[in-house]
Chain A
Amino acid sequence: MQAIKRKKQKETIIEGFFLICAFVAVISVLAITVFVFFNGLKPFISNSYSLWDFLTGVEWRPGSNMFGIFYMIVGSIFATLGAILIGVPVAIFTAVYISELAGSRIGKMIRFAVELLAGIPSVLYGVFGLGIIVPYVLKISPMAQGESLLATILVLAIMILPTVVSISETSISAVPKEYREGSYALGASKIQTIFKVVLPAARSGIMTGVILGIGRAIGETMAVMLVCGNPIAGIPTSLFDQIRPLTTNIALEMGYASGVHQELLYSTGVVLFIFIMIINLAVNKLVKAKVGS
């Protein structure tokens, strides 16, 4: 009797331990959210800066008390869209090649390379971008510098590859072999089978990869900071224009900012936060809607 009771106690304790571990993540996300929102909303609540000016302004001059982030929002969106537009197709075709077309040795090699890519610290992507991509962009650019939206897009496109490739590959490999057999038995070619049966069947997994890719692209800071130019004003109108994404705005100035300036950097974080939430929800909805139909 005693033994059973003790055993039960032990189980309860261990269960409790697991629960605490699980709560670390929940508490962290709550803490970050509350902290960022609390600080970020302060200037608008205390009326020390106008929310409208903050969201629609196209100049960030802390010295002249001008804190507009609209051009940063546009820059972040363009950079992310561009990276997705280039990176996602490349990643999906890579995943298809690895799982459907390549022989097992070449497939393994490519997979290994992609995994290595995932492990490279982001600052090194930035250095690579600055050393290789920026000079090339400069060669074709009408501007005086190579740091640009285009350079940012290219760096981000490479950075999202590992995430999108590995998740897409997993979901492509998880497509039942019966689907492929059924397709071949109906006289479909390999390419037809891939595009009409395998990829649609792997759709929701691939979309998950894309969401994570978007998250990575919009949230990336270090690599982007080195290649984007970080101008103090101006909505980008061409691929060769410099941009100042929301993330780098925070990273560049948080170290020395104080007062309203500092609070508005937190506000930038709030905007970033909301963006990521909107993207996640929207794409989640999209996936569900498509699967439903």
Chain B
Amino acid sequence: MDTNIKFNTKNLDLFYGDFQALKSINMEIREKEVTAFIGPSGCGKSTFLRCLNRMNDLIDSVKIKGEIIFDGKDINGPIDVINLRTRVGMVFQKPNPFPMSIYENIAYGPKCQGMKDKNQLDNLVKESLMKAALWDEVKDRLNKSALGLSGGQQQRLCIARTIAMNPEVILMDEPTSALDPIATAKIEDLMSSLKKDYTIIIVTHSMQQAGRISDKTAFFLMGEVIEFNDTPIIFTNPHDKRTEDYITGRFG
């Protein structure tokens, strides 16, 4: 067995009530790579992403079948969900900093896990903000509300907040779709620098973005994975006609 595999899903089906949103997904996601999910709206890529840290638990009507093996354990089984989420962090489409100070936003996760030491927290906040390339912009206003930051800064704050948990995997659900091109470029730079420490899985609507930043790309359509391969192959030499149609802009 390949020890570099972080997630391994087997025959994963997901239903919203009667509607089947994911159909028999089999996918191996490797460690310390950037994996991108592309596909038209409603194809199930975000739903799949949210399976990986059990965020779909929050929706009552969701039923899941099949396995998602993370570190040798099926995370759909009886696991500690909180522990899973500390190891698999998530950044959302709309930047969602909490309505508290910048410092408190970063310290929130570690505090929830019981970290109390002020020095330790101070260091962690600084370190996380530096890793998220936000430190220089906010170091003089750590105690100001996070809601005063620009959209791009807020999103980097959310990334910093996730990094503060020292997760193994960072899930990103269209993290730049609400941002302007300059802020987007900054986040993309950030992703490439984070890649060496973290496994990153990103859902994106922008094929250019997938092409620029990812190592592997999966193309989703109507709840199925049509093709999953090295990014250059997907974009230059896709094996499936539907993938080709999508990336050349014939639909979607």
In whole angstroms, what is the CA distance A40 to B149 when docked?
Answer: 53
B85 near A185: Cβ-Cβ < 8 Å: yes
A130-138, A192-200, A206-214, A273-281: which lies at the interface: A192-200
**Range for the number of chain B residues in contact with chain A:** 20 to 34
Given A182-B158, A192-B112, A187 contacting B86 (CB threshold 8 A): yes
Given A181-B55, A192-B112, A187 contacting B85 (CB threshold 8 A): yes
**Range for the number of chain A residues in contact with chain B:** 10 to 19
Name the contact of A181 in the complex, choosing from B58, B83, B89, B100 (C-beta under 8 A).
B58
A87-95, A116-124, A172-180, A225-233: which lies at the interface: A172-180
A185 near B90: Cβ-Cβ < 8 Å: yes
A184 near B55: Cβ-Cβ < 8 Å: yes
Given A178-B94, A181-B55, A181-B58, A186 contacting B162 (CB threshold 8 A): yes
Name the contact of A183 in the complex, choosing from B94, B108, B162, B165 (C-beta under 8 A).
B108
Residue A189 at the chain B interface, CB threshold 8 Å: yes
Residue A250 at the chain B interface, CB threshold 8 Å: no
In whole angstroms, what is the CA distance A186 to B100 when docked?
Answer: 15
In whole angstroms, what is the CA distance A189 to B85 when docked?
Answer: 10
A186 near B109: Cβ-Cβ < 8 Å: yes
Residue A201 at the chain B interface, CB threshold 8 Å: yes
B53 near A196: Cβ-Cβ < 8 Å: no
In whole angstroms, what is the CA distance A196 to B82 when docked?
Answer: 16
Which residues of B sit under 8 angstroms from A200, Cβ to Cβ? 99-100
Contact with A along B26-50 (1 / 0, CB 8 A): 0000000000000000000000000
Residue A143 at the chain B interface, CB threshold 8 Å: no
Quick one: closest B residue to A203, CB to CB? B99
Which residues of B sit under 8 angstroms from A176, Cβ to Cβ? 96
In whole angstroms, what is the CA distance A187 to B167 when docked?
Answer: 10
B58 near A179: Cβ-Cβ < 8 Å: no
Within 8 A of A (CB), among B65-104: 82-83, 85-86, 89-90, 92, 94, 96-100
A189 near B99: Cβ-Cβ < 8 Å: no
Residue B216 at the chain A interface, CB threshold 8 Å: no
Which residues of B sit under 8 angstroms from A180, Cβ to Cβ? 58
Residue A286 at the chain B interface, CB threshold 8 Å: no
Residue B248 at the chain A interface, CB threshold 8 Å: no
Residue A13 at the chain B interface, CB threshold 8 Å: no
Binding site for B on A (CB under 8 A): 176, 178-189, 192, 196-197, 200-201
Known contacts A178-B96, A184-B58, A185-B53; 11 further A-B pairs (Cβ under 8 A): A176-B96, A181-B90, A182-B161, A186-B89, A186-B112, A186-B161, A187-B112, A188-B82, A189-B82, A196-B112, A197-B108
Binding site for A on B (CB under 8 A): 53, 55, 58, 82-83, 85-86, 89-90, 92, 94, 96-100, 108-109, 112-113, 158, 161-162, 165
